[in-house]
A and B are shown apart, each in its own frame.
Chain A
Amino acid sequence: MTERQLKSGSAGATGNPVGARRRALPVWGSFLPRTLYQWQIAAFLFPALALIIAFYIVPNAMNFYLSLTDWSTYKSEINFIGLRNFTDLYATGELFGPLWVTLRYAFFVMIAENIFALALALALEESTPFNIFLRSVFFIPVLISTLAAGYAYQGIFAPNGVFNNLINTFIVPLGFEPVQTGWLAQVNFTLYIVALVHAWKFGGIHMFVYLSGLKAIPHELVESARVEGANAWQVFRHVKAPLLGPAFTFNIVLTLIGALSIFDIILTMSRGGPGRATEVMNLAVWRQFGTGAFSYSTAISTLLFIVILIIAIPLIIVLRRREVRL
């Protein structure tokens, strides 16, 4: 901290590298560049900011407005209609239905994916050739397309699929009835099977985040805890877990957001079915867009936007407060 200030002090009052020679220069006094020096900062920021504002911020803001209009493929003009899209969708159960499915799905994915990633990271922590090989193996699902993974799992969980065939080769010789369950056609638990596949698909990348967190822990701390007689669980609970704080924050928040905005894996595995049992919000956005009711789909994505903000921001604040720094 102090070192950082010292360094920045030597580079001018604000620590700005871009031609900062005099200490008294006002840095970024207004959004309009006032000096050559600020013009240079602006030149570096401009391309990225212009792209982000024009193609990310503006559409997101426009989405809010469009969700309050009657924009659809059947009309040429767009009129402001207040909250009618939301009340319409609420009345048919198409607003909170997908929301509730999405929340259950996201919560389950977050738990499963983090347990999967953390357990693998702890098991593969030492950089032996065996472990390095297995890290890459568990990373392969991250590489393949989610859509392709969904199709493959459709074949695995079909009533005559690979999963049932494997079970039946063991239990049928023992005299049991062969299993014929269609795992992706169950109102009660198909959502959770898809969630497990989601955790399998993306867990590898979060494993690397935990691994890099583990690598940053000073070896002496773990070693001295061991010397004092702590067992593996105690070392994890009292030394590693607190120091993994930033990795936990990053992974918990990103797995949650990734699951809240999921689309393709649900589309290929269950298509929102059976009935609407696995229709998550982005699937509803897609379906409404397909019927030409564009304002309904913008209304659902506005709701998704609000839900993510309500969940993510308090979560980040709470998790960052709990982080332990050396």
Chain B
Amino acid sequence: MSATSYHPPSFRERLYRNRWHVLKNTLLLAFASIAIFIPFWMVLVNSAKPIGEANQLGIGLPQEWALIENYTTVLEEGTMGRGFINSVIVVVPSIIGIVLFGSMAAWVFARTQSPRISFLYYLSIAGILIPPAVVASVRVLRTFEELGPQIQLILFYMGVYTSFAIFLVTGFVKTIPIELEEAARIDGAGPFMIFFRIILPMLKPIIITAAFIMLLFMWNDFFYAFFFVGGAGNRTLVLGLFSFISGFFQQIRWNLVFASVVIVSLPLIFVFALAQRWIVSGLLGATVDK
């Protein structure tokens, strides 16, 4: 940093710069507390209060704790355990399919220059721009009615979100030197061997990023899932949240609302906390410049 500056900063300058840093960091912390900490704190403390206290919507600590009662009520009445399993059943196969098929297509798109291939590329990334026509999709996927709503939703997600994986992975494949593939080809490897043994392992960082973004989209998706999943037994976690809270038509029970908000949010926060290092470096490294 100081290699190009022509004089070392004087004490006065360093003090000034430091002061500016302290001011900036104080402002950032103040902003983070108002924008992030207070809302999350509000949700957490109110999810631990009995109903009368929670409905005053304060941000003080509970005078009377009802933490365990609230959370067990939500888990039982809101059938959150069933919802969690249903979400996993839909989201995990979708992510695997999207990432695998998306990477395979992205490899061809990144390595081939021909008008027809680029036409197919733009066709397949159109899904980033244009949202799916969900009502018509429900009609198309009714063909697979006997396979159950989960399979229909998985096929729908794969059709819609593979575009995103193709877009991200294509940009990444272009940064992998093609010489690696040539060397393998000279040694007699076929395309399947080259892809699965050489390219796919090198795609790990972008695959983690893409899989995580897919997880965000699909785990938190309410709009599309709502159209596909009707029956109570198949509801995903977010659909369960909606029907649970919509059930309070007489009087809203804020303590249970906030407790269910916490339960629904925890899985992804947990995944992010575990894989934070890879996700953040992937997000920072992902290029949006094709």
Of B61-69, B70-78, B220-228, which binds chain A?
B220-228
- A7 / chain B contacts, CB cutoff of 8 Å: 177-179
Give the number of A-B contacts (CB < 8 Å).
Answer: 288
- A170 / chain B contacts, CB cutoff of 8 Å: none
The residue of chain B having its C-beta at the shortest distance from the C-beta of A58 within the complex is B140
Q: Return the CB mask of B114-139 against A: 1 if under 8 Å, else 0.
A: 10110010011011111111111101
Cross-chain contact A55 with B155 (CB below 8 angstroms): yes
The A interface is mostly helix, strand or loop, or mixed, namely helix
**A126 to B216 Cα, complex, angstroms:** 27
Q: Return the CB mask of B239-282 against A: 1 if under 8 Å, else 0.
A: 00110010000000010011011001100110010001000100
Cross-chain contact A289 with B280 (CB below 8 angstroms): no
- B229 / chain A contacts, CB cutoff of 8 Å: none
Measured CB to CB, the residues of B under 8 A from A are 1, 4-6, 24-25, 28-29, 32, 35-36, 38-40, 42-43, 46, 56-59, 97, 100-102, 104-105, 107-108, 111-114, 116-117, 120, 123-124, 126-137, 139-141, 155-156, 158-160, 162-163, 166, 177-179, 181-182, 185, 190-191, 194-195, 213, 216, 219-220, 222-223, 226-227, 237-238, 241-242, 245, 254, 257-258, 260-261, 264-265, 268-269, 272, 276, 280, 283-289
Cross-chain contact B57 with A212 (CB below 8 angstroms): no
Cross-chain contact B32 with A134 (CB below 8 angstroms): yes
- B257 / chain A contacts, CB cutoff of 8 Å: 151, 155
- B97 / chain A contacts, CB cutoff of 8 Å: 51
The residue of chain B having its C-beta at the shortest distance from the C-beta of A263 within the complex is B223
10 CB contacts below 8 A, A to B, read A28-B116, A48-B105, A56-B160, A59-B140, A62-B139, A138-B36, A152-B42, A227-B5, A250-B288, A264-B222
- B129 / chain A contacts, CB cutoff of 8 Å: 253, 257, 308-309, 312
**A151 to B35 Cα, complex, angstroms:** 16
**A58 to B182 Cα, complex, angstroms:** 38
Cross-chain contact B104 with A297 (CB below 8 angstroms): no
Measured CB to CB, the residues of A under 8 A from B are 7-8, 10-11, 14-19, 27-28, 31, 40-41, 44-45, 47-49, 51-52, 54-60, 62-63, 66, 123-124, 130, 132, 134-148, 151-153, 155-156, 158, 160-162, 165-166, 200, 205, 208-209, 211-213, 215-216, 220, 223-224, 226-227, 246-247, 249-250, 253-254, 257, 261, 263-264, 267, 282, 285-286, 289, 294, 297-298, 301-302, 304-305, 308-309, 312
**A223 to B6 Cα, complex, angstroms:** 11
- A137 / chain B contacts, CB cutoff of 8 Å: 32, 36
The residue of chain B having its C-beta at the shortest distance from the C-beta of A20 within the complex is B185
- Taking the nearest CB of chain A, how far is it from the CB of B6, in angstroms? 7
- A267 / chain B contacts, CB cutoff of 8 Å: 222
- A165 / chain B contacts, CB cutoff of 8 Å: 56-59
**A81 to B178 Cα, complex, angstroms:** 55
Tell whether A51 pairs with B216 under 8 Å between CB atoms, given A144-B268, A223-B4: no
Cross-chain contact B222 with A17 (CB below 8 angstroms): no
**A249 to B116 Cα, complex, angstroms:** 25
- Taking the nearest CB of chain B, how far is it from the CB of A154, in angstroms? 8
- Taking the nearest CB of chain A, how far is it from the CB of B75, in angstroms? 15
Tell whether A145 pairs with B57 under 8 Å between CB atoms, given A48-B105, A136-B276, A301-B133: no
Cross-chain contact B132 with A45 (CB below 8 angstroms): no
- Taking the nearest CB of chain B, how far is it from the CB of A61, in angstroms? 8
**A47 to B105 Cα, complex, angstroms:** 8
List 13 extra interface pairs beyond A55-B159, A298-B135, CB under 8 A. Answer: A17-B181, A54-B140, A55-B137, A55-B158, A60-B130, A136-B272, A136-B280, A140-B269, A143-B269, A144-B220, A301-B133, A301-B134, A308-B131
**A312 to B245 Cα, complex, angstroms:** 36
Max count, chain B CB within 10 A of own CB: residue among A15, A41, A145, A160: A145
Leading 4 A-B pairs by shortest Cβ distance: A55-B159, A63-B133, A246-B289, A48-B105
Tell whether A27 pairs with B112 under 8 Å between CB atoms, given A17-B194, A55-B159, A155-B46: yes
The residue of chain A having its C-beta at the shortest distance from the C-beta of B35 within the complex is A200
**A206 to B222 Cα, complex, angstroms:** 21
Cross-chain contact A208 with B283 (CB below 8 angstroms): yes
**Contact partner, B159, options A51, A145, A301, Cβ 8 Å:** A51
**Contact partner, A51, options B40, B101, B178, Cβ 8 Å:** B101
Cross-chain contact B117 with A28 (CB below 8 angstroms): yes
Cross-chain contact B130 with A142 (CB below 8 angstroms): no
- B134 / chain A contacts, CB cutoff of 8 Å: 285, 301
Cross-chain contact B4 with A227 (CB below 8 angstroms): yes
Cross-chain contact A19 with B185 (CB below 8 angstroms): yes
**A16 to B182 Cα, complex, angstroms:** 11
Cross-chain contact A301 with B185 (CB below 8 angstroms): no
Cross-chain contact B57 with A162 (CB below 8 angstroms): yes
Tell whether A62 pairs with B133 under 8 Å between CB atoms, given A56-B127, A147-B241, A151-B245: yes
Tell whether A47 pairs with B284 under 8 Å between CB atoms, given A55-B137, A144-B269, A162-B57: no
Cross-chain contact A138 with B130 (CB below 8 angstroms): no
Cross-chain contact B136 with A63 (CB below 8 angstroms): yes
- B25 / chain A contacts, CB cutoff of 8 Å: 130
**Contact partner, A211, options B46, B116, B276, B284, Cβ 8 Å:** B284
Cross-chain contact A143 with B59 (CB below 8 angstroms): no
